[in-house]
Every structure is written in structure tokens, then in C-alpha cells.
Structure 1
Amino acid sequence: MRPMTDTEKSAAFQAVSTTTLADLLGREQVMDIGIRPLWGPVPRVAGPAFTVSCPPGDNLMLHAAVHRAAPGSVVVVESGDLDYALAGGNMCAVAQVRGVAAFVADGVVRDLAEIRECAFPVFARGVIPVPGAKKAVRPLNEPVRCGGVRVAAGDMIVADEEGVVAVPAARSAEILRRARAQLAKEAGQTLADWEKEHRERIDEILAAAGFEG
């Protein structure tokens, strides 16, 4: 069987919620709760990471990345700056036209009304009206940290209203297979089935801990 293309892989992961992925990957691959959708209801997005590092107060390399990221990419930005915006409405509109799937930014943006109007998915720490400078040159597609998670270029990013998960590229096929199996099991399970299985598991844990009642 031939390997999946990035487009096929992104479409497959778009059908998997971040809650399912968190069950499989654990806390270390889930970005912290500060990285959240800035408008809603936001569609689930999935795509390979195009990574960017911006120092505090500067957004030059995000602007550079928008013109270099392949269509379908999720641009992931390391910054940590809450005082200057990494992007605004025009930059998000350009990214959307160029086929970028979303921004996931450890920082803030501006022009939220414009971003919401064009329905470009942005997951970030918030909004501030102050623009950043454009001076600092850094390499693109180097590993970054965003929301406490290490992200390398090509890792699969899945983001929805529940949060943002980074699936390491080396594990993407395995995680997709396991996610599909879990979703298939859940699809064939009624609420009564789930409740029975869940209660049995909870009772076993309680009994093993010596709980009576």
C-alpha cells in the first residue's frame, strides 16, 4: 500500500477529534489551555506543521512563512509575547488565499473582527491592537515550542474547539490507525453499553482501592 499524501493524511485526521487524540497521546502532546480558538464555532483543522520562531515584539518570520508554507499547512508560531500582535486581518486573509489551513500561535493577534469575517481559523492566546516589528530573521521549519509542546516541521496538527494536539510525524500512521479503531468502536456502542462498561470499570477500581459503599 502506498503511503498517504499530506492531503490525504490531513483529511483523515480532520475526522478525528482532539479528545480522541489526547486519549491516545497523553498530556505531553496537547497544548495548554491558553492556546484557544479566537472565534467560533471554529471548524476542526488538520495539517502538517510549518514552524516559525518569532522573538518578542517581532513578526517578520511569520510574514515570511505565509509565502513559503505549502497549501494545507498549519503555521505554528513560537513567540510567547503578549504585548505585540503577530498577525492581523490582512495577513490572515493572505494566508487563507494561499491555502494555509490555520495559524496556531503562542502569542496574540489583532483585527479579530476581520479574521472572524473571513473565517480563517486562528488559535492563539488572545488579541491586542499593537503591531509587532519586522526586523528579526530566524530560520524557518526548525523545532519550536508552542503551548508547552515541542513541534517539528511535518508533525500533524489537529485543532478544534477542545484544543490543539501535535501528533509526531513518526507516529502519525500508528495514531491514525488507533484513532480509527477507537472511533469505530464508539460508533457501534450505545449509551447503555458505554454506561455498563464504564460502571464496571469504576467499580473495579474502587474495589481494588478498598472502597465500600
Structure 2
Amino acid sequence: MADASETASVGFAGIPTTTLADVLGREQVMDIGIRPLWQPVPRIAGPAFTVRCPPGDNLMLHAAIHRAEPGSVIVVESGDLDYALAGGNVCAVAQRRGVVAFVADGLIRDLAEIRDMGFPVFARGVIPIPGAKKVVEPLNVEVRCGGVRVNADDIVVADEEGVVVVPSARQGDVLTASLAKLAKEAGETLDTWEEAHRARIDKLLRDGGFMG
């Protein structure tokens, strides 16, 4: 049987990050520097496997690819813009082991290889210089990535619009609210939306003293 996180991942895979952002608010959306490194990238969703790498060192990300469960999204705290956290072989092994994607507050290298294999990477960019492998840190502790706090088993959803983190304790409520929002939007024509939108905007303008 599928566990709760796997079931949640399947549900969230069908929800755009724009919908989740509307439901969750700004604090759960990573900053614009964390972006897909190749296009068109598929939407991904999965429980976070968290990694902390100090600047210049990538040992724990290399350790994580052998420990993350299939279906996981490996989320990396680094903030390093001088050295790459991973390259083509690391991504290939992660993909072969069932890791869904990397979401990294840092850089990678071998972008052409990663793009060709179709492995989703959301990060700050690329650089050809590899980091060192010296510093041991615990895995699956709270990290900060793209300005958002991420804990192990939080659901990470990412697509071409950005990266959103759903706290594990709120998964059920957020999924229900997101599905309801999508259902409402699906049943709404553009004419209906335009009419409601015009009425709402005009009221806001009147309330603000606008006379035009």
C-alpha cells in the first residue's frame, strides 16, 4: 500500500504552484532565484528529503542520493554561488534510484547532460567548478531553501512558475482547498470571471476614493 506521503504527492502533482501559492501565501513560496534549469520542465511533487551543505562543500548531497526514498524531492540548503553541488553523474544516479528532482539553493554543473536525461533541477544556476567533499552534516533536519523553511516530509511542488512547500501538518487541508479552488475555476467562464472581476475592482476603487 502507498504511504500517506506518497498518496499526497500523487494528489499534489495535479495542482499548479499558482493555486498552491494562492492557498498558502507568500511565506511558502521560494524566491525567484530558485528556478528550473531547463525547459519545458514537468511539474514535480514529492516529500522533501532535506540536505544541508556548507559553502564550497557538497558531501552531504552526494550522500543523500543513496539514502533518499524513491519519490523524494531532495532539497538542499547551501547558498553557495562559487561551487557546484552536483553534476551529471550525481543526477543520473538520483534519477535511477527514483528521486523525483533536486531543489537546491545553489548551483550545479553538466547542465546539458541533466537536460538530456530529463532530470528536473530547480536551482540558482550553473557553474563548472565542483565543490569539496569534507564536511559531514545530519540529513533530514530543517533547512532553509529559497527563503522557505523546509522539513523532511513536507510536500514540495515545483513547475515552471516556481517552487512551493506544503508543510506536512497541513497537507490534507491544503489539498482539499486547492482542489476546491480548481473545481470552481473550471466551472467559471471568462465572461463570468470578467463580470465578477470588474465588480470587485470597481468596489475597491470606490472604497479608495477613485472617481474615474
Report the TM-score range of the alignment, normalised by the length of the smaller protein: over 0.9
SS at match of 1:113: helix
Q: Within 1, Cα distance between the matches of 2:6 and 2:115?
A: 25
Post-superposition offset of 1:52: 0.2
The residue that corresponds to 1:47 in the other structure is: 46
Pairwise CA RMSD: 1.2
Compute the displacement of 1:8 (Å): 1.7
Query: Equivalent residue for 2:4?
Result: 5
Correspondence for 2:134: 135
> 2:163 matched to 1:169?
no
- 1:14-25 counterparts in 2 under 5 A? 14-25=13-24
Q: CA deviation at 1:5?
A: 2.5
Three-state SS of the structure 2 residue aligned to 1:115 is: helix
Deviations 1:125-149 (A, max 9, x none): 0000000111100000000000000
Q: Is the 8 A contact 2:34 2:162 kept in 1?
A: yes
TM-score between the two structures when normalised by the length of structure 2 = 0.98
Confirm whether residue 200 of structure 1 aligns to residue 184 of structure 2. Answer: no
- Structure 1 distance, partners of 2:120, 2:14, is 17
Give me the identity figure in percent: 72
Q: TM-score, normalised by structure 1?
A: 0.98
Runs (5+) with no aligned partner, structure 1:
none
Aligned counterparts, 1:53-92, within 5 A: 53-92=52-91
The one-letter code matched in structure 1 to 2:56 is G
Matched residues in 2 for 1:16 and 1:203: separation? Answer: 30
- Gap regions ≥5 residues in structure 2: none
Q: Distance in 1 between matches of 2:203 and 2:177?
A: 25
**C-alpha distance after superposition, 1:88-136 (max 9, x if no partner):** 0000000000000000000000000000000000000000000011110
C-alpha distance after superposition, 1:30-62 (max 9, x if no partner): 000000000000000000000000000100000
Which letter maps to 2:142? P
Q: 1:86-101 residue pairs with structure 2 within 5 A? A: 86-101=85-100
Opposite residue 128 of structure 2, the aligned amino acid is P
Number of equivalences? 212
2:174 is paired with a residue of what secondary structure? helix
Shift of 1:4: 6.3
SS in 1 for 2:198: helix
**In 2, Cα distance between equivalents of 1:165 and 1:20:** 10
Could you say what secondary structure the match of 1:120 adopts?
coil
CA distance in 2, matches of 1:6, 1:94: 22
